[in-house]
Amino acid sequence: MTEAESTTTEQNTGETHEHEHGHEPRPLGECEREISVNIPADSVSRELESLVVRYQKMARVPGFRRGKTPASLVRRRFADELKQEVVESLVPKYFREEVQKLGFAPISQPKITDFHFEDGEPLRFKAVFEVMPNVEVAPYSDLKAEKGDVSVNEDEIKRELQALRENQATYNPV
């Protein structure tokens, strides 16, 4: 079932289901949120396959001409690098999609936790990030400020000028 069909089913039946990529956001404090993101297994495998093809073209493996290394050997030999590139490619993309879908505006880099990545399974993780606080401005147009009466006499002016002269004075040898 596609995401559009899932949304239509929810609207027609009135039932709510987890959306395809994650779970409901969880507030951790005034300005901190946690979301769970699920990246579908088919998206992960598509990205992995495109990387395997790219690695096949670049890999230099003894016994094989450049670009002719079998995909299975590339998967085994470069497994860690492939997983790392899949994560670097998909996690930011799906995090952004989920945040936009939920209507958040993150103001910090997400901290990724509970990371789960196994072959053939959806890639799952939780992201904790900060959002702008909700600030409600009270009506301020009715506020009045009282202007204080400031009066300065000649003696105060002379004393202040004398104090400034003494503070700024420098002594030069004659």
Per-residue pLDDT of the chain (174 residues; tens, 9 = 90+): 334 333 333 333 333 333 445 556 777 777 899 999 999 999 999 999 999 999 988 888 888 888 888 988 999 999 999 999 999 999 999 999 999 998 888 999 999 989 898 888 999 999 999 988 888 888 888 888 888 888 889 999 999 999 999 999 888 888
CATH code (residue 49): 3.30.70.1050
Residue 6 falls inside a structural domain: no
Number of domains in the chain: 1
Residue 23's pLDDT is 59
Residue 138 falls inside a structural domain: no
CA distances from 88 to 5, 44, 92, 112, 123 (A): 29, 12, 7, 12, 12
Closest by Cα among 119, 51, 120 to 82: 51
Closest by Cα among 75, 82, 55 to 67: 55
Residue 113 falls inside a structural domain: yes
Residue 44 falls inside a structural domain: yes
Residue 110's pLDDT is 92
Prediction pTM value = 0.61
CA 2, chain centre distance (Å): 26
AA identity, residue 147: K
**Domain that residue 69 falls in:** 19-130
Residue 156 falls inside a structural domain: no
Sign of CA dihedral 60, 62, 68, 72: negative
Residue 106 falls inside a structural domain: yes
Residue 55 falls inside a structural domain: yes
Residue 135 falls inside a structural domain: no
Residue 22's pLDDT is 54
